[in-house]
Chain A
Amino acid sequence: MLKSKVDEVLQDVNKLPAISSVVSKVLEKLQKPDVNIADLAQEISKDPAITANVIKLSNSAYYRASKPIRTVQEALMTLGIKTVKEIVLLTAAKGILAQDLNSYQLEAAQLWTASLLVAELSSKIVQHKKLKIDKDLAFTSGLLCSVGKIVLAQFFSPVMMQLKADLKNNQEPFPTLEKKYFGYTHMEVSETLLKRWNFPVDLTDVVANYLTPENSKVNPLLTSVVHIASILIVVSGIGIDIGGESVPISPFALSQTGVTDADIETYFVHIPDLQAGLADLLNV
């Protein structure tokens, strides 16, 4: 069991994936009701890479701005605070998620594509089923679900032989094996990371429970949406990792969201079309 080693890493800020202090500050400001656009623009502009991406993506076909955008302030005024927040998070997430996780048998491009697709499908499900959830919140929650795998991936080598043997006869969801060998599931690690980054509680709740939505305490409906989206993306093979298709769709998630078998069929068939629509974001 590698739990003590994983604990060591989780307690050492220098060993964990980092998020720009600008992103943390932007999120912090956005949690206050009296957020000021000029103030926010100034904060974002402190990070040149994020600023460049905000302007580039604001002008992309995906966000369809009504006029050309040249500054962060213009982006905030034209697209709105929520959309710009989404772009800032997207840029930060790409920096963290776009890496090869060889031990999970997952390449960087696959992990990033899958993360974006879970985000986009979550947002589409919210709109399609007319759920009372902010679609941008659904997008962001879906985006960050796999982030804990980045930390666990580095601990695979010492247990790989045993884990593979276990995997052959495994009838349980893969996170059960993560827990057995590392002392943590990737969901628990994701939750720790998001808390460390000062993300709001509804986001940490989703990443902590997206494969077991019935355990969600804060927002079971949102967690259920992200659950369904994430399973469908895995089934399509995009971002499918060493765990394969070991987690079934939760009946709880289906009853919470009202998603029917026919809906699932439609969502599944349209995954390639969804991916085509994300071309701008895939190349952030």
Chain B
Amino acid sequence: MSIKSKIINVGIADIKVGKDTDVLRTTLGSCIGIVLYDPDQKIGAISHIMLAKDPTGKDMSKFPHKYGETALPILIDMMKKEGSNIGQFSCRIFGGASMFKGINSQFLQNIGEQNILIVRKFMEEKKIPIIVEDVAGNEGRTISLYCDDGRVLLKKAGMEKYLYKVR
């Protein structure tokens, strides 16, 4: 990491954009981290969603970054605002661990899976390629996106590795 690097923490139900020497970081359980990166302009973004859809329909207007259905269009808009349009960036997705063993609720058991599905569907509709997926299981993941070259440092279950694929 260069001395100039600025670490930007992406909280739960949050979206952040960075460029050049910025490092975007988030930690995921059953939530999904959607990483967009434009390798030519060195612009990146992470959206950390909790659920695919708002189960009540009342919360998403107040907290749009919490739900895939409202967060994903905002994520694209934020990339556009920085000067990166669809066609210039690709997508990588992380997280979606499945938990809530011993609970009968379909909703709770399927949080991770539903999150993954909505991201795949959205990216397919927008013709944004998903080039890396590290999802499901029961591990926590910390991901750091280095905007200088788009590599992602993935930490999970005692392991750390860099993923360099950006196109």
Q: Once bound together, how far apart are the Cα atoms of A244 and B99, in whole Å? A: 10
Q: For the complex, what is the distance from the CA of A235 to the CA of B30, rounded to whole Å?
A: 6
At the interface with chain B, which of A42-50, A92-100, A215-223, A263-271?
A263-271
Cβ-based interface call for B66 (8 A)? yes
Stretch of A128-136, A199-207, A245-253 lying at the B interface: A245-253
Please state if A244 and B140 are interface contacts (CB–CB under 8 Å): yes
Known: A238-B12, A248-B99, A269-B55. Contact between A164 and B159, CB under 8 A? yes
A191-244 CB contacts (< 8 Å) to partner B = 231, 234-238, 240-242, 244
User: A236-B30, A271-B12 given as contacts; is B155 within 8 A of A105 (CB)?
Assistant: yes
Chain A 163-199 per-residue mask, 1 if CB under 8 angstroms from chain B, else 0: 1100110000000000000000000000000000000
CB distance from A205 to the nearest CB of B (A): 23
Chain A residues lying within 8 Å of B2, measured Cβ to Cβ, are none
**With A105-B158, A167-B158 as contacts: A268 and B50 at CB distance below 8 Å:** yes
Given contacts A237-B12, A261-B103, A272-B13, whether A164 and B158 have CB atoms under 8 Å apart is yes
Size of the B side of the interface (Cβ < 8 Å), in residues, is 41
Q: Which residues of B contact A265 (CB under 8 A)?
A: 55, 105, 107-108
A140 within 8 A of B: no
Does A248 lie within 8 Å of B101, measured CB to CB? yes
| Chain A residues whose C-beta falls within 8 Å of the C-beta of B52 in the assembled complex | none
Check A237 against B157 for contact (C-beta < 8 Å). Answer: no
Report B-chain residues with C-beta under 8 Å of the C-beta of A275.
Answer: 11-12
Chain B residue numbers with a CB within 8 Å of A264 are 100, 103, 105, 108
Contacts of A122 in B (CB 8 A): none
Establish whether residues A261 and B105, one from each chain, have CB atoms under 8 Å apart when the complex forms: yes
| Contacting pair A240 B140 (CB below 8 A) | yes
Q: Which partner residue on chain A sits nearest B56 by CB separation?
A: A269
Q: Is the CB of B157 within 8 A of A249?
A: no
Among candidates B26, B31, B100, B157, residue contacting A244 with C-beta atoms closer than 8 Å:
B157
Q: Which of B86-107 contact A (CB under 8 A)?
A: 95, 97-105, 107
Contact of A234 among B29, B98, B157 (CB under 8 A): B29
Verify A235–B12 contact, CB threshold 8 A.
no
- Whether B142 sits at the interface, judged by CB under 8 Å, is yes
Among A164, A236, A241, point to the contact of B12 (Cβ < 8 A).
A236
The answer to whether A244 touches B66, judged by C-beta atoms less than 8 angstroms apart, is no
Q: Tell me, yes or no, whether B5 is within 8 Å of chain A by CB.
A: no
Instruction: Tell me the minimal C-beta distance from B86 to chain A in angstroms.
Output: 28
Q: Which residues of A contact B (CB under 8 A)?
A: 105, 109-110, 160, 163-164, 167-168, 231, 234-238, 240-242, 244-246, 248-251, 254, 261-262, 264-265, 268-269, 271-273, 275
| Interface residues in chain B, defined as those with a beta carbon under 8 Å from any beta carbon in chain A | 9, 11-14, 26-31, 50-51, 55, 59, 63, 66, 95, 97-105, 107-108, 111, 137-142, 155-159
